[in-house]
Amino acid sequence: MGVTAARTPAGRWPVVRPRLGLAARLGLAAVWLFAGGAKVGDLAASGRAVNAYQVMPYEVATAIGAALPFVELALGLLLLAGLATRLSAGISAALLVVFIAGIASAWARGLAIDCGCFGSGGQLAAGQAPSYLPEILRDLGFLALAGFLLIWPRSPYSVDGWLAGDPPVEEDDDE
């Protein structure tokens, strides 16, 4: 009994890759929509969270903090729709690298802050310990999703795919 190409790992990649792309796209969309949605109701708090990193003047930090939720929401909506997926993944990757660098910088400088990734953030109360390593590892996971989409941006149920004439899902002959 011979092994067919569809049963080998390389032969299954054309079937698995679009499904992984869909999961990566929707997962990263959910992250951005949740992060932006958690901050958009209190833009001043978002600005204070950015300022807590102590890497730029207060006025610049608060302006970035006020704009960031809208950027996150826009990325989430674009990824959810699968529109401009590679561009959205590239911007996501760049933002995540900045976030990881910021968290690592705060850790290295001994700052005790909440990253503000999914809410108001800012200075921690006395005695509260920051959780930098889990935050960095989480953002590295999100960066991996963005990296996947940079390499393979087309996925099922996406505007990009529909514009290119892709079928929603490639069917596996064994199903």
pLDDT tens figures, 62-88? 999 999 999 999 999 999 999 999 999
What is the band of 173 on the pLDDT scale with cuts at 50, 70, 90?
A: very low
Averaged pLDDT of the chain? 90
Q: How far is Cα 95 from Cα 100, in angstroms, rounded to an integer?
A: 9
Whether the per-residue pLDDT at 127 is higher than 90: the answer is no
Strands (E), 26-130: 113-114, 122-123
Q: What is the pLDDT of residue 128?
A: 84
Query: Sorting pLDDT into bands at 50, 70 and 90, what band is 125?
Result: confident
pLDDT tens-digit map of 89-107: 999 999 999 999 999 999 9
Q: Could you tell me if 149 and 21 are in contact, meaning their C-beta atoms sit under 8 angstroms apart?
A: yes
What pLDDT shows up at residue 169?
A: 59
Give the pLDDT of residue 4.
54
pTM for the model: 0.87
Per-residue pLDDT, 46:
94
123 DSSP β-pair partners: 113
Q: Which residues contact 15 (CB under 8 A, 6 or more apart)?
A: 6, 170, 172
Q: What type of residue is 134?
A: P
